[in-house]
Amino acid sequence: MSERPLIIDCLQYCNFSHGIFRQMAEGGVSAVHVTIAYHELFRETVSNISRWNRWFEQFPDLICPAGSGDDVRNAHERGRTAIIYGLQNPSPIEDDIGLVEILHTLGVRFMQLTYNNQSLLATGCYETEDTGLTRMGHEVVREMNRVGMVVDMSHSAERSTLEAIEHSHRPIAITHANPHAWHPALRNKSGDVLRALSQSGGMLGFSLYPHHLNNGSECTLGDFCQMIARTADLMGVDHIGLGTDLCQDQPDSVVEWMRTGRWSKSIDYGEGSSNDAGFPAQPDWFRDNRDFANLQLGLLEAGFSDAETAQIMGGNWLRFFDESFGPA
C-alpha cells in the first residue's frame, strides 16, 4: 500500500477537542462516525450539532462535516477528517417521525433503534423481554430507508435486531460490537445475528471498548485480529470494518450519563460494576486516534492481504456509505 490508506472509524464518543482532532490527523483518520446523542431529546441534539458547527468553523484544516461517501473521499484527499453524525438512541426524534428527515438534513446518518433499554421503536439488549420492532419501529425504519439514515442495532436485543434486518429494505449496521462467541458480553452479537447481517448486505464494526474485548484491557492485538479473521470467515471480508467505540478524555461522569441518562434515579453499572464503575483503560496498542497503524499491522499479521486490510480499515465502510446515505 503505497498511498496513504483510507481509515474510517464507525463509532467514537470522545470528549472532542482541538487535541483529539490533531491526533486524528496524526493517525491519518479519514472519517469518524461520532455519537451526537445518547439520551438527548431533539432540541438538545441540535445544540450538540451547533457545537460541531463551531468546531468546523474553528478547525477547518482538521475536520469537515460529511454526509456522503464523496464527502469522505474529498476529506481524505485534502487530509481532513470527515465527521459523520449518529445517534445511539432514538430519543432525538421524540415521538415524531418527521424528525427523521429533519435530522438527516442536519447530517445524521446513523440511528440506533435502542440504547440498552426498551425504546419507542424496539428492545434494548439489557431488557429481560424482547418484543421486537414496535408499530412505530416499523414506520421509522421505513422512513429511515427512504431518506438514507442507517439503522444501527449495536445496543439492541437479539429478536429486535433480527426483525430490523428483515424489515429494513436497505442493509443495516452494527457499528460497534464484537462476536458473542469470542467474548460473551451482553452487547456482543450472536452468530445468527452476524450471519443475517452479512447475508442482507449489512456491516459490522469491531469495537475496541474493553468491556467488549476478550480479557478486557489486557486483550492482545493478536487475539483481536484473530477474532476479526474468524468473523471474516463467518460474514465475508466485505461486511466488516472498525467501530472502535473510543471514548477518549471523557470523565467518568459521562459513562454514568451513557448508562443511566435520566431514566433512573439509581445508578446502572451497565457493562461495568460497582467496583469498576468508570471508563476502563484502553489496550496499550489502541490508546487513541494515533494507533490505527497498529490495527493495520495486526490485520496483515493475521493473514489478511493488503487489499483485504484496506477494506477492513475503511474501504468497506466507504462502499456502505455510498449505498446507504442517499435517498432510496
- Binding footprint of a copy of itself on the chain (CB under 8 A): 42-43, 46-47, 49-51, 53-54, 96, 98-99, 101-102, 105-107
Return the closest-CA partner of residue 203 out of 308, 311, 115: 311
Nearer to a copy of itself, 60 or 278 (CB): 60
Q: How far is the CB of 71 from a copy of itself (least distance, A)?
A: 14
Nearer to a copy of itself, 145 or 188 (CB): 145
Nearer to a copy of itself, 85 or 286 (CB): 85
Which 3 state secondary structure label does DSSP give 70?
helix
Nearer to a copy of itself, 90 or 283 (CB): 90
* DSSP code, position 4: P
Structure-block grid coordinates of residue 58:
474553528
Structure-block grid coordinates of residue 256:
454514568
Q: How far is the CB of 65 from a copy of itself (least distance, A)?
A: 9
Nearer to a copy of itself, 53 or 264 (CB): 53
Nearer to a copy of itself, 61 or 284 (CB): 61
Q: How far is the CB of 263 from a copy of itself (least distance, A)?
A: 21
Q: How far is the CB of 31 from a copy of itself (least distance, A)?
A: 20
Is 84 in contact with 59 (CB distance < 8 Å)? Answer: no
Q: How far is CA 292 from the centre of its chain?
A: 16
107: left (phi over 0), alpha (psi -120 to 50) or beta: left
Nearer to a copy of itself, 60 or 191 (CB): 60
Q: How far is the CB of 25 from a copy of itself (least distance, A)?
A: 24
Is 189 in contact with 202 (CB distance < 8 Å)? Answer: no
Q: State how far the Cα of 242 lies from the Cα of 292, in Å rounded to an integer.
A: 10
Structure-block grid coordinates of residue 250:
471523557
Using the CB atoms, write b or e for 77-113: b if 16+ within 10 Å: eeebbbbbbbbbbbbbbeeeeebbbebbebbbbbbbb
Is 326 in contact with 62 (CB distance < 8 Å)? Answer: no
In 10 A of CB 3, how many CB atoms? 5
Q: How far is the CB of 139 from a copy of itself (least distance, A)?
A: 13
Q: How far is the CB of 86 from a copy of itself (least distance, A)?
A: 17
Nearer to a copy of itself, 141 or 177 (CB): 141
Q: How far is the CB of 249 from a copy of itself (least distance, A)?
A: 23
In 10 A of CB 50, how many CB atoms? 10
Structure-block grid coordinates of residue 317:
465502510
Is 161 in contact with 192 (CB distance < 8 Å)? Answer: no
Q: State how far the Cα of 185 lies from the Cα of 212, in Å rounded to an integer.
A: 6
